[in-house]
């Protein structure tokens, strides 16, 4: 038996001013997307924006449904729409933010496990995706989705690299 541990590396900022212009722009687009969130059940409005290698930015928001599992998180809305609209472009970065009671959350909003798994698939196919989790008081930046989900399901050989 061996007891092992892993380290998660990330960068933490306390002001958007410390970020690059590209990162701030992406967060701005994620925040814009929260305005189109459809969240009549949770009242938690999540926005996500992905930057593609061409420079194009695509954003999306959470879309809920009275048949609860039928809704979709903001991250998957943005990533799936980006890939369906621009299949030959690759996702290089993703920003996530959330608004509750009309105000942007102070703390980062972490992507759920299902979104991490989906994003990892894009990352395995196309290369690292920087993940920017933006609260007003704390912003965390992960260099890849893998940092957020180290033990991902990836041993099925359905993905042909």
- For the annotated catalytic residues, the residue numbers are 75
Q: What is the closest distance, in whole angstroms, from the C-beta atom of residue 133 to ligand THU in the complex?
A: 9
Site size toward ligand THU (CB under 6 A) is 14
In the complex with ligand THU, the residue whose CB is nearer, 23 or 75, is 75
Distance separating alpha carbons of residues 23 and 44, to the nearest angstrom: 23
Piece of 6-14, 26-34, 37-45, 80-88 that binds ligand THU (CB under 6 A): 37-45
Q: What is the closest distance, in whole angstroms, from the C-beta atom of residue 113 to ligand THU in the complex?
A: 10
Pairing state of beta strands 91-100 and 57-61?
unpaired
Q: Under the criterion CB under 6 A, does residue 42 sit at the interface with ligand THU?
A: yes
From the list 60, 61, 57, the residue with the least C-alpha distance to 21 is 57
Distance separating alpha carbons of residues 19 and 13, to the nearest angstrom: 8
Residue numbers 43-82 binding ligand THU by CB under 6 A: 44, 46, 62, 64, 71, 73-75
Residue numbers 109-128 binding ligand THU by CB under 6 A: 109, 111-112, 115
Helix axes 113-126, 74-85, angle to 10 degrees: 30
From the list 61, 144, 69, 149, the residue with the least C-alpha distance to 98 is 61
Tell me if 61 sits within 8 A of 74, measured CB to CB.
Answer: yes
Q: Under the criterion CB under 6 A, does residue 92 sit at the interface with ligand THU?
A: no
State the residues that interact with ligand THU by CB under 6 A.
39, 42, 44, 46, 62, 64, 71, 73-75, 109, 111-112, 115
């Amino acid at each position: 038996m061996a007891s092992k541990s892993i380290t998660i590396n990330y960068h933490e900022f306390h002001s958007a001013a410390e970020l690059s212009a590209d990162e701030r722009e992406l967060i701005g687009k994620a925040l814009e997307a929260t305005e189109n969130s459809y969240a009549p059940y949770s009242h938690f409005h999540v926005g996500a924006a992905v930057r593609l290698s061409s420079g194009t930015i695509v954003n999306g928001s959470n879309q809920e449904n009275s048949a609860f599992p039928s809704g979709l998180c903001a991250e998957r809305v943005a990533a799936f729409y980006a890939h369906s609209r621009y299949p030959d472009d690759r996702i290089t970065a993703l920003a996530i933010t959330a608004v509750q009671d009309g105000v942007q959350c102070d703390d980062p909003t972490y992507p759920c496990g299902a979104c991490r798994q989906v994003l990892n698939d894009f990352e395995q196919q196309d290369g690292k995706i920087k993940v920017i989790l933006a609260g007003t008081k704390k912003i965390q930046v992960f260099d890849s989705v893998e940092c957020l989900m180290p033990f991902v399901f990836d041993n099925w050989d359905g993905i042909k690299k």
